[in-house]
Protein backbone atom coordinates (compact mmCIF):
# COMPACT_ATOMS: atom_id res chain seq x y z
CA UNK A 1 0.00 0.00 0.00
CA UNK A 2 1.22 3.50 -0.82
CA UNK A 3 -0.34 6.38 1.02
CA UNK A 4 -2.32 9.20 -0.51
CA UNK A 5 -0.21 12.34 -0.29
CA UNK A 6 -2.17 15.14 1.36
CA UNK A 7 -1.45 18.18 -0.82
CA UNK A 8 -1.17 21.08 1.63
CA UNK A 9 -0.27 23.53 -1.11
CA UNK A 10 -3.47 22.86 -3.04
CA UNK A 11 -5.59 22.75 0.13
CA UNK A 12 -4.13 26.06 1.34
CA UNK A 13 -5.11 27.59 -2.02
CA UNK A 14 -8.69 26.37 -1.49
CA UNK A 15 -8.71 27.96 1.99
CA UNK A 16 -7.30 31.23 0.59
CA UNK A 17 -9.94 31.24 -2.19
CA UNK A 18 -12.64 30.94 0.51
CA UNK A 19 -11.03 33.79 2.45
CA UNK A 20 -10.92 35.99 -0.67
CA UNK A 21 -14.64 35.29 -1.29
CA UNK A 22 -15.47 36.23 2.33
CA UNK A 23 -13.37 39.40 2.06
CA UNK A 24 -15.27 40.37 -1.13
CA UNK A 25 -18.61 39.75 0.62
CA UNK A 26 -17.54 41.87 3.62
CA UNK A 27 -16.64 44.71 1.24
CA UNK A 28 -19.85 44.65 -0.78
CA UNK A 29 -22.37 43.94 1.99
CA UNK A 30 -20.77 45.73 4.97
CA UNK A 31 -18.15 48.10 3.54
CA UNK A 32 -15.50 46.46 5.74
CA UNK A 33 -11.94 45.56 4.74
CA UNK A 34 -10.21 43.29 7.31
CA UNK A 35 -6.79 44.46 8.47
CA UNK A 36 -3.92 42.32 9.76
CA UNK A 37 -0.91 43.84 11.55
CA UNK A 38 2.29 41.80 11.65
CA UNK A 39 5.09 42.92 13.98
CA UNK A 40 8.63 41.57 13.76
CA UNK A 41 11.47 42.47 16.10
CA UNK A 42 15.04 41.96 14.88
CA UNK A 43 16.48 40.45 11.73
CA UNK A 44 16.15 36.66 11.98
CA UNK A 45 16.23 35.67 8.26
CA UNK A 46 13.72 32.78 8.59
CA UNK A 47 11.27 35.00 10.48
CA UNK A 48 11.66 37.73 7.86
CA UNK A 49 10.73 35.26 5.08
CA UNK A 50 7.63 34.13 7.03
CA UNK A 51 6.56 37.71 7.69
CA UNK A 52 7.04 38.79 4.06
CA UNK A 53 4.89 35.83 2.94
CA UNK A 54 2.21 36.71 5.49
CA UNK A 55 2.05 40.33 4.34
CA UNK A 56 2.00 39.37 0.62
CA UNK A 57 -0.77 36.79 1.04
CA UNK A 58 -2.80 39.23 3.16
CA UNK A 59 -2.81 41.68 0.23
CA UNK A 60 -3.57 38.89 -2.28
CA UNK A 61 -6.68 37.98 -0.26
CA UNK A 62 -7.88 41.58 -0.56
CA UNK A 63 -7.15 42.58 3.05
CA UNK A 64 -5.09 45.42 4.48
CA UNK A 65 -1.68 44.27 5.67
CA UNK A 66 0.27 46.44 8.13
CA UNK A 67 3.90 45.46 8.54
CA UNK A 68 6.10 46.79 11.35
CA UNK A 69 9.80 45.99 11.62
CA UNK A 70 11.32 47.01 14.95
CA UNK A 71 15.05 46.92 15.76
CA UNK A 72 16.57 43.98 17.66
CA UNK A 73 17.20 46.15 20.75
CA UNK A 74 13.62 47.44 21.05
CA UNK A 75 12.74 47.61 24.77
CA UNK A 76 9.87 45.38 25.91
CA UNK A 77 7.83 48.41 27.05
CA UNK A 78 8.12 49.95 23.58
CA UNK A 79 6.90 46.74 21.90
CA UNK A 80 3.97 46.55 24.33
CA UNK A 81 3.16 50.20 23.59
CA UNK A 82 3.08 49.29 19.86
CA UNK A 83 0.72 46.39 20.60
CA UNK A 84 -1.52 48.72 22.65
CA UNK A 85 -1.66 51.19 19.76
CA UNK A 86 -2.70 48.38 17.39
CA UNK A 87 -5.31 47.20 19.94
CA UNK A 88 -6.84 50.68 19.79
CA UNK A 89 -6.68 51.03 15.98
CA UNK A 90 -10.08 50.25 14.39
CA UNK A 91 -8.44 49.49 11.00
CA UNK A 92 -6.60 46.56 12.63
CA UNK A 93 -8.70 43.44 13.20
CA UNK A 94 -5.85 41.00 13.77
CA UNK A 95 -2.41 41.31 15.40
CA UNK A 96 0.47 38.87 15.08
CA UNK A 97 3.80 39.37 16.81
CA UNK A 98 6.28 37.05 15.12
CA UNK A 99 8.00 34.64 17.52
CA UNK A 100 10.61 34.01 18.74
CA UNK A 101 11.34 37.45 20.19
CA UNK A 102 14.83 38.60 21.24
CA UNK A 103 15.95 37.19 24.61
CA UNK A 104 15.49 40.44 26.58
CA UNK A 105 11.74 40.45 25.85
CA UNK A 106 9.24 38.36 27.83
CA UNK A 107 7.12 36.71 25.10
CA UNK A 108 4.20 35.94 27.38
CA UNK A 109 4.00 39.60 28.48
CA UNK A 110 3.83 40.69 24.84
CA UNK A 111 1.31 38.04 23.76
CA UNK A 112 -0.68 38.86 26.92
CA UNK A 113 -0.88 42.52 25.85
CA UNK A 114 -2.69 41.66 22.59
CA UNK A 115 -6.46 42.18 22.83
CA UNK A 116 -7.83 38.59 22.88
CA UNK A 117 -10.37 39.39 20.13
CA UNK A 118 -7.50 40.54 17.85
CA UNK A 119 -5.20 37.60 18.77
CA UNK A 120 -5.34 35.83 15.38
CA UNK A 121 -2.48 33.56 16.56
CA UNK A 122 -4.75 32.18 19.31
CA UNK A 123 -1.90 32.31 21.83
CA UNK A 124 -3.34 34.69 24.47
CA UNK A 125 -4.22 32.86 27.71
CA UNK A 126 -7.88 33.83 27.23
CA UNK A 127 -7.97 32.04 23.86
CA UNK A 128 -5.91 29.09 25.17
CA UNK A 129 -8.34 28.90 28.12
CA UNK A 130 -11.39 28.98 25.86
CA UNK A 131 -9.88 26.17 23.75
CA UNK A 132 -9.38 24.09 26.92
CA UNK A 133 -12.92 24.80 28.17
CA UNK A 134 -15.96 25.84 26.17
CA UNK A 135 -14.30 26.72 22.84
CA UNK A 136 -15.28 29.77 20.81
CA UNK A 137 -12.01 31.74 20.99
CA UNK A 138 -9.34 32.25 18.33
CA UNK A 139 -7.59 28.97 17.46
CA UNK A 140 -3.82 28.81 16.69
CA UNK A 141 -3.14 28.66 12.95
CA UNK A 142 -1.00 25.52 12.52
CA UNK A 143 -3.28 23.35 14.72
CA UNK A 144 -6.32 24.68 12.82
CA UNK A 145 -4.59 23.72 9.55
CA UNK A 146 -3.93 20.19 10.89
CA UNK A 147 -7.59 19.68 11.83
CA UNK A 148 -8.89 21.03 8.49
CA UNK A 149 -6.60 18.59 6.65
CA UNK A 150 -7.65 15.66 8.85
CA UNK A 151 -11.35 16.37 8.39
CA UNK A 152 -10.89 16.81 4.64
CA UNK A 153 -9.07 13.45 4.48
CA UNK A 154 -11.08 11.37 6.95
CA UNK A 155 -14.44 13.12 7.33
CA UNK A 156 -15.75 12.54 10.86
CA UNK A 157 -12.94 11.99 13.39
CA UNK A 158 -15.18 10.63 16.17
CA UNK A 159 -13.73 7.68 18.05
CA UNK A 160 -10.35 7.72 16.29
CA UNK A 161 -7.26 7.12 18.40
CA UNK A 162 -5.09 10.21 17.92
CA UNK A 163 -1.48 10.53 19.04
CA UNK A 164 0.03 14.01 19.28
CA UNK A 165 3.81 14.02 19.57
CA UNK A 166 4.96 17.32 21.05
CA UNK A 167 3.54 19.54 23.80
CA UNK A 168 4.32 23.09 22.66
CA UNK A 169 1.97 26.00 23.26
CA UNK A 170 2.07 26.78 19.52
CA UNK A 171 1.14 23.29 18.21
CA UNK A 172 1.08 20.22 20.49
CA UNK A 173 -1.27 21.37 23.26
CA UNK A 174 -3.80 23.16 21.04
CA UNK A 175 -3.92 20.39 18.41
CA UNK A 176 -4.63 17.87 21.20
CA UNK A 177 -7.51 20.06 22.46
CA UNK A 178 -8.93 20.35 18.94
CA UNK A 179 -8.76 16.58 18.41
CA UNK A 180 -10.57 16.10 21.72
CA UNK A 181 -13.27 18.51 20.55
CA UNK A 182 -13.61 16.28 17.45
CA UNK A 183 -14.30 13.32 19.78
CA UNK A 184 -10.96 11.59 19.27
CA UNK A 185 -9.33 9.55 22.03
CA UNK A 186 -6.18 11.63 22.46
CA UNK A 187 -2.73 10.71 23.75
CA UNK A 188 0.02 13.33 24.07
CA UNK A 189 3.58 12.04 23.75
CA UNK A 190 6.80 14.05 23.81
CA UNK A 191 10.58 13.80 23.80
CA UNK A 192 10.60 12.03 27.20
CA UNK A 193 7.89 9.48 26.40
CA UNK A 194 8.99 5.89 26.99
CA UNK A 195 8.27 3.43 24.18
CA UNK A 196 7.05 5.94 21.61
CA UNK A 197 6.98 3.08 19.08
CA UNK A 198 4.06 1.33 20.79
CA UNK A 199 2.15 4.64 21.19
CA UNK A 200 2.54 5.26 17.45
CA UNK A 201 1.57 1.68 16.58
CA UNK A 202 -1.78 2.10 18.38
CA UNK A 203 -2.76 5.37 16.68
CA UNK A 204 -5.24 5.88 13.82
CA UNK A 205 -4.02 9.49 13.57
CA UNK A 206 -0.46 10.67 14.26
CA UNK A 207 0.30 14.40 14.51
CA UNK A 208 4.07 14.81 14.83
CA UNK A 209 5.19 18.21 16.15
CA UNK A 210 8.30 17.47 18.16
CA UNK A 211 10.93 19.24 16.05
CA UNK A 212 13.34 16.30 15.80
CA UNK A 213 14.23 15.20 12.25
CA UNK A 214 12.69 11.82 11.33
CA UNK A 215 12.22 10.85 14.98
CA UNK A 216 9.09 8.86 14.14
CA UNK A 217 10.11 5.74 12.25
CA UNK A 218 7.90 4.63 9.37
CA UNK A 219 7.88 1.05 10.60
CA UNK A 220 6.04 2.15 13.79
CA UNK A 221 3.04 3.49 11.87
CA UNK A 222 -0.16 1.44 12.11
CA UNK A 223 -1.11 0.23 8.61
CA UNK A 224 -3.89 2.49 7.32
CA UNK A 225 -3.16 5.39 9.70
CA UNK A 226 -3.26 9.07 8.74
CA UNK A 227 -0.05 10.99 9.42
CA UNK A 228 0.23 14.78 9.79
CA UNK A 229 3.86 15.88 9.94
CA UNK A 230 4.26 19.39 11.37
CA UNK A 231 8.07 19.23 11.56
CA UNK A 232 10.22 21.34 9.25
CA UNK A 233 13.86 20.42 9.88
CA UNK A 234 16.83 21.37 7.73
CA UNK A 235 19.40 18.55 7.57
CA UNK A 236 22.67 18.09 5.67
CA UNK A 237 22.28 16.50 2.21
CA UNK A 238 25.80 15.61 1.03
CA UNK A 239 24.25 13.54 -1.80
CA UNK A 240 23.16 16.85 -3.34
CA UNK A 241 26.67 18.26 -3.17
CA UNK A 242 28.99 19.75 -0.61
CA UNK A 243 27.29 21.99 1.94
CA UNK A 244 23.80 21.28 0.54
CA UNK A 245 20.79 20.74 2.80
CA UNK A 246 17.22 19.48 2.49
CA UNK A 247 14.05 19.73 4.53
CA UNK A 248 12.66 16.73 6.38
CA UNK A 249 9.77 16.32 8.78
CA UNK A 250 9.55 14.67 12.19
CA UNK A 251 8.45 11.45 10.43
CA UNK A 252 10.64 9.18 8.28
CA UNK A 253 8.62 9.81 5.13
CA UNK A 254 9.52 7.00 2.69
CA UNK A 255 8.90 4.17 5.16
CA UNK A 256 5.80 5.84 6.64
CA UNK A 257 4.33 6.37 3.16
CA UNK A 258 4.49 2.61 2.58
CA UNK A 259 2.26 1.89 5.62
CA UNK A 260 -0.02 4.90 6.07
CA UNK A 261 -3.30 5.51 4.27
CA UNK A 262 -2.60 9.24 3.95
CA UNK A 263 0.37 11.42 4.85
CA UNK A 264 1.48 15.05 4.56
CA UNK A 265 4.80 15.66 2.80
CA UNK A 266 7.54 18.05 4.00
CA UNK A 267 7.68 20.56 2.42
CA UNK A 268 4.22 21.11 0.91
CA UNK A 269 2.07 19.64 3.68
CA UNK A 270 1.17 21.49 6.86
CA UNK A 271 3.50 24.46 6.14
CA UNK A 272 1.37 26.23 3.51
CA UNK A 273 -1.76 25.80 5.65
CA UNK A 274 -0.45 27.99 8.49
CA UNK A 275 -0.64 31.32 6.66
CA UNK A 276 -3.92 30.33 4.97
CA UNK A 277 -5.38 29.74 8.46
CA UNK A 278 -3.97 33.06 9.69
CA UNK A 279 -5.93 34.80 6.91
CA UNK A 280 -9.02 32.74 7.80
CA UNK A 281 -8.64 33.73 11.47
CA UNK A 282 -8.39 37.40 10.48
CA UNK A 283 -11.73 37.15 8.67
CA UNK A 284 -13.23 35.28 11.66
CA UNK A 285 -11.96 38.00 14.05
CA UNK A 286 -13.32 40.78 11.81
CA UNK A 287 -16.75 39.15 11.67
CA UNK A 288 -16.87 38.64 15.46
CA UNK A 289 -15.79 42.24 16.13
CA UNK A 290 -18.59 43.50 13.88
CA UNK A 291 -21.29 40.95 14.87
CA UNK A 292 -21.41 39.61 11.32
CA UNK A 293 -22.45 36.04 10.53
CA UNK A 294 -21.07 35.24 7.06
How would DSSP label each residue in 56-90? HHHHHTT-EEEEEEE-TT--HHHHHHHHHHHHH-T
Please confirm whether the linkage preceding 100 is cis (ω < 30° from 0). Answer: yes
Q: How far is the CB of 55 from ligand GUN (least distance, A)?
A: 13
Residue 119 or 204 with smaller CB distance to ligand GUN: 119
Catalytic residues: 54, 98, 121
**Between 46 and 237, whose beta carbon lies closer to ligand GUN?**
46
For residue 39, the SS3 value is: strand
Answer yes or no: are the C-beta atoms of 248 and 240 closer than 8 Å: no
Measured from the CB atom, the residue of 27 and 99 that comes closer to ligand GUN is 99
**CB of 3: closest distance to ligand GUN in angstroms?**
26
Nearer to ligand GUN, 99 or 201 (CB): 99
Determine the residue with CB nearest ligand GUN.
Answer: 99
Residue 222 per-residue DSSP state:
P
Tell me the closest approach of the beta carbon of residue 262 to ligand GUN, in angstroms.
24
Site residues, ligand GUN (CB under 6 A): 96-99, 121, 141-142, 170, 274
Query: Shortest distance, CB of residue 142 to ligand GUN, whole angstroms?
Result: 6
Number of neighbours of residue 162 by Cβ within 10 angstroms? 25
Contact 228, 206 (CB under 8 A): yes
Amino acid sequence: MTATIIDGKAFAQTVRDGVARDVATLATTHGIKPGLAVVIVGHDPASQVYVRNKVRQTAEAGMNGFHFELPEDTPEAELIAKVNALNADPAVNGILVQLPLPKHIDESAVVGAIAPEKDVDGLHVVNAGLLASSGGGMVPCTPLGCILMLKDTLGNLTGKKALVIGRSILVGKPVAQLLLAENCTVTIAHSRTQDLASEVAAADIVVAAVGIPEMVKGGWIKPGATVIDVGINRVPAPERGEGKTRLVGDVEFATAEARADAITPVPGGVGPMTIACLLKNTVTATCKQNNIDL
